[in-house]
Amino acid sequence: MKIKILSRKFIKPSTPTPEKLRTYKISCTDEVNPTMNVVGLFYYPSTDNIGNLNNLEKSLEEIFPQFYPFAGRYIKENYSVDCSDEGVEYVEAQVDHELLEIIGSGVEPVELNDLLPVEVGAADEANDPVIIVDAASLGTFFFAWAKATRGDNTEPIIPNVDFPSYFPSENLGELDFGTTGTRDPTTVTKRILFDKKAIANLRARVSHLYKNSDRPASRVLVVSSFLSEVLIRCDRKKLGKTRACLISQAVNIRERTVPPLSKYSWGNLVSLGMVECCAEETKSLNFEHLVTLLGNAARKAVSDCVKLLTNVDGHKILVDVFASAADKSNDENLNGI
pLDDT tens digit sequence for 81-103: 999 999 988 888 888 877 777 77
> Residues near 51 by Cβ (< 8 Å), separated by ≥ 6?
none
Is 48's pLDDT higher than 60? Answer: no
The pTM of this model reads: 0.85
pLDDT of residue 129: 59
Q: What is the mean pLDDT of residues 185-214?
A: 88
Is 293's pLDDT higher than 80? Answer: yes
Is 5's pLDDT higher than 60? Answer: yes
The band of 75, judged by pLDDT with boundaries at 50, 70 and 90, is confident
pLDDT in tens, 171-187: 776 666 666 656 667 77
Is 126's pLDDT higher than 60? Answer: no
Q: What is the mean pLDDT of residues 188-214?
A: 89
Is 52's pLDDT higher than 70? Answer: no
The band of 317, judged by pLDDT with boundaries at 50, 70 and 90, is confident
| Residue 178 region by backbone torsions, left for phi larger than 0, else alpha for psi between -120 and 50, else beta | left
Picking from 4-13, 217-226, 288-297, 322-331, which range would have the lowest pLDDT averaged per residue?
Answer: 322-331
pLDDT of residue 54: 74
Judge contact between 235 and 282, C-beta under 8 A: no
Which DSSP category does 118 fall into? S
User: Higher confidence at residue 175 or residue 235?
Assistant: 235
pLDDT of residue 181: 58
pLDDT of residue 192: 84
Q: pLDDT exceeding 70 applies to what percent of the chain?
A: 88
Domains defined for the chain, CATH in brackets: 3-166 (3.30.559.10), 196-336 (3.30.559.10)
Report the alpha-carbon distance of residue 145 to residue 157 in Å, rounded. Answer: 9
Number of residues that this document lists for the chain: 337
pLDDT of residue 173: 66
- Three-state DSSP at 244 gives strand
Picking from 44-53, 209-218, 247-256, which range would have the lowest pLDDT averaged per residue?
Answer: 44-53
Judge contact between 67 and 141, C-beta under 8 A: yes
Q: What angle do CA 317, 323, 325 make, to 5 degrees?
A: 105
